[in-house]
Amino acid sequence: MQDSQKSIYRVVVVYQNDRRMMIIDPSYSQEVLPKIQALFNLPFKFKVMLKSLNAEVFATYEVFEGDELLIIPIEENNQSRIEERKELSEEIAITKVGLDCLFKKKFEGKNLLKDLNNWANPLGFTLIFPNGVTRQQDKMKRTVWCSAKDCKFKLYLVAELESDKSYDDLKFTLENGKDEHNHKLEVSEEDLLSPDIIKEIDDFKGKMKTKVELQNYINKKFKKNFTYSQISHYVTKLLNENFGKPDQDAYKLLEEIQKDVGENGGNFKFDLEESNKALRRILYVSNTMVNYSKKFLDMVIVDATYKRNRFNMPLVNVVGVNNYGRTILLAFALLDDEKMDSYDWLFKNLKDIWRKEPDYFISDECAEIIKGNISFV
């Protein structure tokens, strides 16, 4: 499902009190710095700090919806800092992490950097693309580097070219690598997550409001210093192990809704992408909700939570008020976006299911919701 609808994050970027909104695609880590450079027309080198964690940002997937990034200029001609970095490099012993497990895997071009970072982040470092791809006869080659300053770590990956496949669909394998870090990794072998810590993450991942809160809880309980990337990595891994990947999970949801409607009554509508049949939208009205709609459509409230679920889709709640003054759920929907076309689809299908019009609609100032419910007029 993520292939058919490109996920984007809206992030606030701040430089010298100038705040601007930036749209980024979490699939491509190399786009962050160039986009910021263009956004502020910056003539100097800089680093990007994630304000909430006071951590430097190297890859897009470390940034989430609504985060605030701070631009910090880097002084290039400060000789004392250059000497300081040189002395530091000489003091630190070369650290190796082991590449054996990577030689056995294949990586799709579209997820190459993301998948490699899923391996690298729990070990305490981040990988980047320093340049483009290289074509050599019937092969395509790509080099991945550690993001740390002057680090020697590199991975050399290769894919067989196929005429009917784009870069996204190519299968890359590790050809060779230079397994040397000339800096301290954030995580040592002793700090890797033990089974009891992973179980605790699994138990509490759905009970904490944010992953930062979960990170603080785990570090405090086990007296550790795990990074945000480590905790985030294991939360995603556990969700996929427990429920399947989000696109698979979406179809499981659709199957469960079909089963429920078949056994207990109710109604549902869904919409698929024409090209690859990926799920775009789904509306569900249970048998209980249908019965509510026959009695309590005098006032209907519509609002959405913005992509705060594992499908990364807006969840639209349609609620009413019963004769006891209590809120009741009349329907809910997952939409691919919050544009007028999506809300128009939602309201047209609600009208078809309810077969009557609400007396009043209440929503926030979302123009798309206001325009979309014109379907009831």
Instruction: List, for residues 305-319, the tens digit of each pLDDT value.
Output: 765 566 667 889 999
CB 304 within 8 A of CB 281: no
Provide the pLDDT for residue 200: 92
Mean pLDDT across the chain: 78
Q: What number is the average pLDDT over the span 53-81?
A: 70
pLDDT, greater one: 119 or 365: 119
- Alpha-carbon torsion 214, 217, 222, 228, what sign? positive
Provide the pLDDT for residue 113: 85
Q: Rounded to the nearest 5 degrees, what angle is found at the Cα of 310, between the Cα atoms of 304 and 311?
A: 70
Provide the pLDDT for residue 283: 94
pLDDT, greater one: 337 or 277: 337
pLDDT, greater one: 248 or 163: 163
Which range, of 36-45, 87-96, 328-337, 361-370, averages the lowest pLDDT? 87-96
Question: What is the pLDDT confidence band of residue 276, given thresholds at 50, 70 and 90?
Answer: low
Q: Rounded to the nearest 5 degrees, what angle is found at the Cα of 30, between the Cα atoms of 109 and 235?
A: 75
Question: What is the pLDDT confidence band of residue 330, given thresholds at 50, 70 and 90?
Answer: very high
Give the rounded percent of residues in the chain with a pLDDT score beyond 90. 17
Provide the pLDDT for residue 3: 39
**Distance (Å, rounded) from C-alpha 345 to C-alpha 272?**
12
**Domain 9-76: top CATH class:** alpha beta
